Structure 1
Amino acid sequence: MGYSVLIVEDDRELSRIYRNILERANYTVHEANNGAEALQVLPEVAPDILLIDMLMPMLGGEALLQRIRQMPGLGDMRVVVLTAYPRFREKVLYLGVDEFLVKPIKPGVLLETLANVMSADENQAEGVE
Protein backbone atom coordinates (compact mmCIF):
# COMPACT_ATOMS: atom_id res chain seq x y z
CA MET A 1 0.00 0.00 0.00
CA GLY A 2 2.38 2.69 1.19
CA TYR A 3 -0.30 5.14 2.31
CA SER A 4 -0.19 7.05 5.57
CA VAL A 5 -3.12 7.25 7.97
CA LEU A 6 -3.83 9.46 10.97
CA ILE A 7 -6.11 7.71 13.45
CA VAL A 8 -8.03 10.21 15.58
CA GLU A 9 -9.57 8.11 18.34
CA ASP A 10 -9.84 8.72 22.09
CA ASP A 11 -10.25 5.01 22.92
CA ARG A 12 -6.62 3.92 23.14
CA GLU A 13 -7.46 0.23 22.85
CA LEU A 14 -9.39 0.77 19.61
CA SER A 15 -6.62 2.99 18.30
CA ARG A 16 -4.10 0.21 19.03
CA ILE A 17 -6.28 -2.34 17.23
CA TYR A 18 -6.65 -0.10 14.16
CA ARG A 19 -2.91 0.57 14.20
CA ASN A 20 -2.09 -3.15 14.22
CA ILE A 21 -4.51 -3.88 11.37
CA LEU A 22 -3.17 -1.04 9.23
CA GLU A 23 0.51 -1.64 9.91
CA ARG A 24 0.14 -5.31 8.89
CA ALA A 25 -1.30 -4.00 5.61
CA ASN A 26 1.78 -1.75 5.14
CA TYR A 27 0.17 1.56 6.04
CA THR A 28 2.24 4.15 7.89
CA VAL A 29 0.18 4.98 10.98
CA HIS A 30 0.07 8.09 13.15
CA GLU A 31 -2.24 8.60 16.11
CA ALA A 32 -3.99 11.46 17.88
CA ASN A 33 -6.17 11.06 20.97
CA ASN A 34 -8.62 13.85 20.10
CA GLY A 35 -9.37 16.50 17.52
CA ALA A 36 -7.20 19.16 19.15
CA GLU A 37 -4.18 16.85 19.07
CA ALA A 38 -4.97 15.94 15.46
CA LEU A 39 -4.86 19.61 14.43
CA GLN A 40 -1.38 19.88 15.96
CA VAL A 41 0.08 16.84 14.18
CA LEU A 42 -1.73 17.12 10.82
CA PRO A 43 0.68 19.61 9.21
CA GLU A 44 3.76 17.60 10.13
CA VAL A 45 2.50 14.09 9.27
CA ALA A 46 0.39 15.08 6.21
CA PRO A 47 -1.47 11.76 6.02
CA ASP A 48 -3.16 10.46 2.90
CA ILE A 49 -6.28 9.63 4.86
CA LEU A 50 -7.87 10.37 8.23
CA LEU A 51 -9.79 7.89 10.38
CA ILE A 52 -11.88 10.01 12.74
CA ASP A 53 -14.04 9.04 15.69
CA MET A 54 -16.98 11.38 16.22
CA LEU A 55 -17.30 11.62 19.99
CA MET A 56 -14.05 12.75 21.61
CA PRO A 57 -13.06 15.12 24.40
CA MET A 58 -11.61 18.57 23.71
CA LEU A 59 -12.54 18.66 20.02
CA GLY A 60 -14.97 16.15 18.54
CA GLY A 61 -15.05 14.71 15.06
CA GLU A 62 -17.57 17.11 13.55
CA ALA A 63 -15.69 20.21 14.75
CA LEU A 64 -12.41 18.68 13.58
CA LEU A 65 -13.85 18.04 10.12
CA GLN A 66 -15.12 21.61 9.88
CA ARG A 67 -11.68 22.97 10.73
CA ILE A 68 -9.83 20.61 8.39
CA ARG A 69 -12.07 21.56 5.47
CA GLN A 70 -11.02 25.20 5.96
CA MET A 71 -7.27 24.52 6.20
CA PRO A 72 -5.12 25.34 3.14
CA GLY A 73 -3.77 22.17 1.58
CA LEU A 74 -5.88 19.90 3.79
CA GLY A 75 -9.41 20.80 2.73
CA ASP A 76 -9.70 17.93 0.26
CA MET A 77 -8.09 15.29 2.48
CA ARG A 78 -9.68 11.84 2.40
CA VAL A 79 -11.73 11.12 5.54
CA VAL A 80 -13.33 7.97 6.93
CA VAL A 81 -15.54 8.43 9.99
CA LEU A 82 -15.63 5.63 12.57
CA THR A 83 -18.39 5.79 15.15
CA ALA A 84 -20.64 3.66 17.30
CA TYR A 85 -23.52 6.03 16.49
CA PRO A 86 -25.12 5.67 13.04
CA ARG A 87 -27.10 8.88 13.61
CA PHE A 88 -23.98 10.89 12.73
CA ARG A 89 -24.07 9.76 9.08
CA GLU A 90 -26.24 12.58 7.74
CA LYS A 91 -24.61 15.09 10.06
CA VAL A 92 -21.14 14.59 8.56
CA LEU A 93 -21.92 13.80 4.93
CA TYR A 94 -22.24 17.50 4.14
CA LEU A 95 -18.62 17.90 5.27
CA GLY A 96 -17.39 15.72 2.43
CA VAL A 97 -16.68 12.51 4.32
CA ASP A 98 -15.55 9.76 1.95
CA GLU A 99 -16.88 6.85 4.01
CA PHE A 100 -18.80 6.28 7.22
CA LEU A 101 -18.29 3.06 9.22
CA VAL A 102 -20.22 1.98 12.29
CA LYS A 103 -18.28 0.29 15.10
CA PRO A 104 -17.49 -2.49 15.70
CA ILE A 105 -15.58 -2.66 12.43
CA LYS A 106 -14.18 -5.89 11.04
CA PRO A 107 -10.54 -5.68 9.90
CA GLY A 108 -11.41 -6.70 6.34
CA VAL A 109 -14.08 -4.02 6.09
CA LEU A 110 -11.67 -1.35 7.33
CA LEU A 111 -8.95 -2.35 4.86
CA GLU A 112 -11.37 -2.65 1.94
CA THR A 113 -12.87 0.75 2.74
CA LEU A 114 -9.47 2.45 2.84
CA ALA A 115 -8.41 0.76 -0.40
CA ASN A 116 -11.62 1.90 -2.10
CA VAL A 117 -11.25 5.47 -0.87
CA MET A 118 -7.65 5.71 -2.03
CA SER A 119 -8.45 3.99 -5.33
CA ALA A 120 -11.22 6.52 -5.98
CA ASP A 121 -8.77 9.31 -5.16
CA GLU A 122 -6.20 7.95 -7.64
CA ASN A 123 -8.83 7.48 -10.36
CA GLN A 124 -10.06 11.03 -9.84
CA ALA A 125 -6.50 12.37 -10.07
CA GLU A 126 -6.02 10.47 -13.34
CA GLY A 127 -9.35 11.67 -14.72
CA VAL A 128 -10.89 8.18 -14.69
CA GLU A 129 -14.52 7.87 -13.68
Structure 2
Amino acid sequence: MDKKILICDDDEDILSICTYILEENGWNVHTRNHCKNIVETVEEIMPDIILMDNWIPDMGGIKATQAIKSTPSLSKIPIIYFSANNDVKALARVAGADNFLAKPFDIEELEKIVASVLNK
Protein backbone atom coordinates (compact mmCIF):
# COMPACT_ATOMS: atom_id res chain seq x y z
CA MET A 1 0.00 0.00 0.00
CA ASP A 2 1.26 3.47 -0.88
CA LYS A 3 2.34 5.72 1.93
CA LYS A 4 0.24 8.89 2.14
CA ILE A 5 1.77 12.29 2.75
CA LEU A 6 -0.16 15.47 3.54
CA ILE A 7 1.62 18.74 2.78
CA CYS A 8 0.20 21.94 4.29
CA ASP A 9 1.82 25.04 2.79
CA ASP A 10 0.41 28.24 1.31
CA ASP A 11 3.21 28.50 -1.27
CA GLU A 12 1.91 26.85 -4.46
CA ASP A 13 5.47 26.44 -5.80
CA ILE A 14 6.51 24.51 -2.68
CA LEU A 15 3.41 22.32 -2.99
CA SER A 16 4.14 21.61 -6.66
CA ILE A 17 7.83 20.87 -6.16
CA CYS A 18 7.30 18.70 -3.08
CA THR A 19 4.44 16.82 -4.74
CA TYR A 20 6.55 16.07 -7.79
CA ILE A 21 9.57 14.94 -5.76
CA LEU A 22 7.60 12.78 -3.33
CA GLU A 23 5.38 11.21 -6.00
CA GLU A 24 8.56 10.29 -7.93
CA ASN A 25 9.48 8.25 -4.84
CA GLY A 26 6.18 6.38 -5.07
CA TRP A 27 4.36 8.19 -2.29
CA ASN A 28 0.73 9.34 -2.53
CA VAL A 29 0.70 13.11 -1.91
CA HIS A 30 -2.22 15.27 -0.74
CA THR A 31 -1.86 19.04 -0.44
CA ARG A 32 -3.65 21.89 1.31
CA ASN A 33 -2.80 25.60 1.09
CA HIS A 34 -4.53 26.37 4.39
CA CYS A 35 -5.25 24.79 7.78
CA LYS A 36 -8.98 25.34 7.83
CA ASN A 37 -10.65 22.28 9.41
CA ILE A 38 -7.23 20.67 9.79
CA VAL A 39 -8.36 17.91 12.15
CA GLU A 40 -11.18 16.89 9.79
CA THR A 41 -8.79 17.01 6.82
CA VAL A 42 -6.28 14.75 8.55
CA GLU A 43 -9.04 12.36 9.67
CA GLU A 44 -10.29 12.15 6.09
CA ILE A 45 -6.86 11.51 4.52
CA MET A 46 -5.20 9.63 7.42
CA PRO A 47 -1.71 10.32 6.12
CA ASP A 48 1.36 8.40 7.21
CA ILE A 49 3.23 11.70 7.59
CA ILE A 50 2.45 15.44 7.50
CA LEU A 51 4.68 18.28 6.31
CA MET A 52 3.48 21.44 8.07
CA ASP A 53 4.48 24.98 7.14
CA ASN A 54 4.80 27.60 9.89
CA TRP A 55 3.18 30.56 8.10
CA ILE A 56 -0.01 28.96 6.82
CA PRO A 57 -3.41 30.70 6.67
CA ASP A 58 -6.25 30.18 9.10
CA MET A 59 -4.56 29.02 12.29
CA GLY A 60 -0.85 28.82 11.52
CA GLY A 61 1.41 25.80 11.70
CA ILE A 62 1.94 25.78 15.46
CA LYS A 63 -1.77 25.70 16.33
CA ALA A 64 -2.53 23.27 13.49
CA THR A 65 0.19 20.88 14.68
CA GLN A 66 -1.00 21.16 18.27
CA ALA A 67 -4.60 20.47 17.18
CA ILE A 68 -3.52 17.33 15.34
CA LYS A 69 -1.29 16.12 18.17
CA SER A 70 -4.02 16.70 20.77
CA THR A 71 -6.50 14.52 18.86
CA PRO A 72 -6.02 10.96 20.19
CA SER A 73 -6.71 9.20 16.88
CA LEU A 74 -4.17 11.43 15.08
CA SER A 75 -1.50 12.03 17.72
CA LYS A 76 0.85 9.31 16.46
CA ILE A 77 1.04 10.69 12.90
CA PRO A 78 4.56 12.08 12.47
CA ILE A 79 4.68 15.79 11.61
CA ILE A 80 7.70 17.42 9.99
CA TYR A 81 7.59 21.14 10.60
CA PHE A 82 9.09 23.17 7.79
CA SER A 83 9.73 26.87 7.55
CA ALA A 84 12.10 29.55 6.33
CA ASN A 85 12.07 30.99 9.86
CA ASN A 86 15.57 31.11 11.36
CA ASP A 87 14.30 29.38 14.50
CA VAL A 88 12.47 26.48 12.83
CA LYS A 89 13.88 23.99 15.34
CA ALA A 90 12.42 25.91 18.30
CA LEU A 91 9.10 26.45 16.47
CA ALA A 92 8.87 22.72 15.77
CA ARG A 93 9.45 21.98 19.45
CA VAL A 94 6.76 24.47 20.55
CA ALA A 95 4.34 23.01 18.00
CA GLY A 96 5.00 19.45 19.14
CA ALA A 97 6.28 18.31 15.75
CA ASP A 98 8.34 15.15 15.43
CA ASN A 99 11.03 16.68 13.24
CA PHE A 100 11.80 19.81 11.23
CA LEU A 101 13.19 20.91 7.88
CA ALA A 102 14.53 24.39 7.21
CA LYS A 103 13.58 26.16 3.99
CA PRO A 104 15.10 26.47 1.51
CA PHE A 105 15.90 22.77 1.55
CA ASP A 106 17.82 20.46 -0.70
CA ILE A 107 15.73 17.90 -2.62
CA GLU A 108 17.82 15.05 -1.23
CA GLU A 109 17.34 16.42 2.28
CA LEU A 110 13.54 16.37 1.81
CA GLU A 111 13.60 12.82 0.47
CA LYS A 112 15.92 11.67 3.26
CA ILE A 113 13.90 13.12 6.14
CA VAL A 114 10.56 11.86 4.76
CA ALA A 115 11.98 8.40 4.10
CA SER A 116 13.55 8.22 7.58
CA VAL A 117 10.25 9.09 9.26
CA LEU A 118 8.18 6.76 7.05
CA ASN A 119 10.57 3.85 7.57
CA LYS A 120 10.55 4.02 11.39
Fold agreement, TM-score > 0.5: yes
Identity, % of aligned positions: 29
Q: Secondary structure at the match of 2:85?
A: coil
Q: Does the 8 Å contact 1:78/1:97 carry over to 2?
A: yes
Deviation of 1:44 after TM superposition, in Å, equals: 1.1
Question: Which residue matches 1:16?
Answer: 16
Question: Which residue matches 2:76?
Answer: 76
Letter of the structure 2 residue corresponding to residue 92 of structure 1: A
Deviation of 1:91 after TM superposition, in Å, equals: 3.0
Question: Which residue matches 1:44?
Answer: 44
Distance in 2 (CA, whole Å) between partners of 1:112 and 1:88 is: 18
Question: Which residue matches 1:63?
Answer: 63
Q: Which has the higher contact order (CA 8 A, sep 6+)?
A: 2
2:14 is aligned with 1:3: no
Deviation of 1:42 after TM superposition, in Å, equals: 1.0
Which protein has the bigger helix share?
1
Larger radius of gyration: 1
Deviation of 1:2 after TM superposition, in Å, equals: 2.6
Q: How has the CA–CA distance of structure 1 residues 21 and 37 changed in structure 2, closer, same or farther, with 3 Å as cutoff?
A: farther
Distance in 1 (CA, whole Å) between partners of 2:99 and 2:86 is: 12
Q: How has the CA–CA distance of structure 1 residues 37 and 29 changed in structure 2, closer, same or farther, with 3 Å as cutoff?
A: farther
Gaps of 5+ in 2: none
Q: CA RMSD in A?
A: 1.6
Q: With structure 2 as the length reference, what TM-score do the two structures score?
A: 0.91
Distance in 2 (CA, whole Å) between partners of 1:72 and 1:87 is: 28
Q: With structure 1 as the length reference, what TM-score do the two structures score?
A: 0.85
Q: How has the CA–CA distance of structure 1 residues 92 and 37 changed in structure 2, closer, same or farther, with 3 Å as cutoff?
A: same
